[in-house]
Chains A and B, each alone.
Chain A
Amino acid sequence: MQMSRRQVLGAVGAFSLGAVLTSCAGFVRPASTPATGELTFTTWGSDSELVGFRKAITGFESANPGAKITLNVVPYQQIYPTVDAQLQSNTAPDIFRVDYRNFGRYAGSKQLLNLEPLLDASVGASFTDALWRAVQFDGKPYGVPHHTDTTAILYNKAAFAAAGITSVPTTLETAWTWDEFEKVALTLQRKLPAGKYPFAYNWQGQGAARWLNWLFQADGRFLDKKLRSPAIDSEAGRAAIDFTKSFFTRKLVPANNSVKSSTYASDLFFSETVAMTFAGAFLIPDAAKLANFEWGATFSPQDKRGGGDLGGNALVATAGTTKKTLAAKFLTHMVGQKTMRDFCATSSLLPTRKDLVDKGIEFTVRPELSKVFVGQASTVRAADTAQVASPAMGAITTVLSDQLEQAFIGGQSTKDTLAGMTAGIKQALSR
């Protein structure tokens, strides 16, 4: 093939321009340089989350003419089988959304892009320590913490008033202790009609890891500091199992509130079967629509310390993406201050950026409840999130689910439950 002089010059020019753009985007702050190309982005999402994602994508495409993000939405139940199959067949998206409990599995299997050489060095400092730790594997960032969520309490105001409970904690420091929470539950139990219960806990639907809130509140761990061995067989572990088992033996929760139940805690709250439910902030828009009664929110109880689960999701790029720089630039955009504030406010989710946590955000729906959830999220420690980010967390969640189910409604003793958890976690870590 012969090329004319003009074609040769054009090709050299295009090559040089591409090289310059690539180098700029890779080593300078990604947000400052326009980028081009197409990325595929696979996610699940509620209606409000998808509105937020689309708005953020439009913002990125406007700031970077020539960049295109193709959004692929799949149902939550199918996200991991879908992404896994795509990774196995080398047809994975460039970017996907992953919850923190599954993050370690992908990072540990070398499926994710190491963002360390692609992100500006200051990016990590803009997140809270706990959340930045949640996207690390072997000390390197393999994703960005897009948002978080954690568990607080929603309560039925009329049921509380009928039981003579006139106030709830309004600051994190005055959150109920375990004893105080138990007293509130017992007071409710005495006043509620038959078939109604004081509260429900949200550990259904692969949510068994939310039981760890009690363990963290008792100042316990489920993995040792090196994250290589189980550490749940401890005084804190015993206390957490004993306390949560008592919910069932004392009938403080409905019998179908166990871990494998198909009835979610929120449904029990909406139907007024329970007077309180433990819930994430993401539930606020649904509660505003579905709860036909006045309700409020307060902090989760505390024992030796406050504690909460690491809800929410990270955004990650796949190791096989051919557009690493563009991917890093898009991820940086998605966790920018304005983008994150808009997304979190619309979706009732919590920010991961320090500046937004410090300033606080206002949910679009029930903005007065934002401070409860933002405050509760501050109880999540980096030491907790490091354990949850373990590559074995998926298997550990199944162990927790099986053992807690046996303890709560199978009559299994605390000693056997701890032994079962220890053996299961050990096996999960050995795979």
Chain B
Amino acid sequence: MTTLNTSRRPRWVRSTLTGYAFLAPSLVLLGLFVFLPLGWAFVISLKQTNGFGDGAFVGLSNYGRLLTDPVFWRVTFNTALFTSIVVPVSMALGLGLAMLMNSVLPVRALFRTIIVLPMVISGVATALIGVLVYDQNNGIANKLLRVIGLGSIPWQSSGPGAFASVVLVTLWWRIGFNMIIYLAALQGVSPELYESARIEGANARQQLRYITWPMVGPSTFFLLIMNVIHSFQVFDVIFVLTQGGPGNSTSVLVTYAYTNGFLIRDQGYATAIGIFLLAITLVFTAIQWRVSRTRDLVE
């Protein structure tokens, strides 16, 4: 018995050590480039600093300021509204297009390329194209609207118009990614499932509800998390397209953090906004992780 125990323990220890040895490079990189900066950022959020020197320790007062800052609540609302529109719409359009591309659509390779094209362009370039499209005096969108007799939309000088332009440009940019992920998932669904359903008399809507939707569950879970994180972190499109205006109608958490950090030079407060953003992203991801029933579903 004693001999057996002593021979098992070193093996267990050895196997654990081997596991950690394999993990070590990733852990070191994560620690160095993710957890250490995160911890550092939290320390900065407890200071009043312009970025130079040590700054002054102010405890949680930057977090206290968040509660009483009306612009912060406005940009938080904008971020939530943007996320609640862009995430479901981009996923629904992505799934719809993926189903279309998975069917017998003629020249689908061409359509697929056209839809995916914005995905390979940077956010800044996409937004610059958006500036040309949504310029309210000379942009393509208003020219088209005027041709069909619908008049002009104040894309740049009214809050709702500017917000709509940001949403439309983001959708155009994101749909390709959603479509690609859903297309990969759809191509992994066995045609026999649909064939059986059809034999049993299921119509197209029922096939979508009871076969397609559950079978793309893991992709939906992945896309939901990614889209929410991207939406919470949206910056480049807004920075180039509207600069947060008019007023603060298109400002979001990241653009507000940027303004505080790099224009006002209130880096402690800017970092507190960043930590708040991290916290709500983690909370949302944890909730999704708990409630999603189809995230690991396989055929």
Instruction: State the A residues within 8 Å of B (CB).
Output: 80-81, 84, 87-88, 105, 109-111, 195, 206, 254-256, 258-263, 268, 271, 273, 394-395, 397-398, 402, 405-406, 409-410, 428, 431
Contacts and interface: CB of A to CB of B under 8 A. Distances in A.
Contacts of A84: 51-52, 262
Contacts of B131: 262-263
A262 B138 contact: no
A254 B259 CA distance: 26
Contact of B135 (A111, A256, A409, A428): A256
B66 to A, nearest CB: 16
24 contacts: A84-B51, A110-B53, A206-B263, A254-B136, A254-B137, A256-B135, A256-B154, A256-B155, A256-B157, A258-B157, A261-B157, A261-B243, A261-B246, A262-B131, A262-B241, A273-B137, A395-B263, A397-B263, A398-B264, A405-B245, A405-B246, A410-B246, A431-B48, A431-B264
A339 B52 CA distance: 33
B50 A263 contact: no
B229 to A, nearest CB: 23
Question: Which of A81, A105, A273, A431 has most chain B Cβ within 10 Å?
Answer: A431
Given A260-B244, A263-B131, A431 B50 contact: yes
Interface of B is mostly: loop
Interface in B209-249: 240-248
A261 B245 contact: yes
A105 B265 CA distance: 9
Given A195-B137, A268-B137, A105 B246 contact: no
Contacts of A261: 156-157, 243, 245-246
B137 A258 contact: no
A157 B256 CA distance: 42
Contacts of B52: 84, 87-88, 109-111
B50 A262 contact: no
Contacts, number: 88
A109 B264 contact: no
Given A111-B52, A394-B265, A262 B240 contact: yes
Contact of B246 (A258, A398, A431): A258
Contact of A256 (B51, B137, B241, B265): B137
A405 B156 contact: no
A256 B241 CA distance: 12
Contact of A398 (B50, B156, B259): B259
Nearest to A406: B247
A259 to B, nearest CB: 7
B93 to A, nearest CB: 25
Interface centre among B131, B245, B259 (most CB of A within 10 A): B245
B67 to A, nearest CB: 17
Nearest to A263: B135
Please list the 8 inter-chain residue pairs (A to B) with the smallest Cβ-Cβ separation, ordered nearest first.
Answer: A260-B245, A255-B157, A256-B156, A109-B52, A395-B264, A260-B243, A273-B137, A398-B263
Given A261-B245, A395-B263, 14 more contacts: A80-B262, A84-B51, A84-B262, A105-B265, A255-B154, A255-B157, A256-B155, A261-B156, A263-B156, A395-B266, A397-B263, A406-B247, A409-B247, A428-B264
B246 A394 contact: no
A398 B248 CA distance: 12
Nearest to B130: A262
Contacts of B48: 431
A260 B246 contact: yes
B242 A260 contact: yes
B68 to A, nearest CB: 13
A92 to B, nearest CB: 11
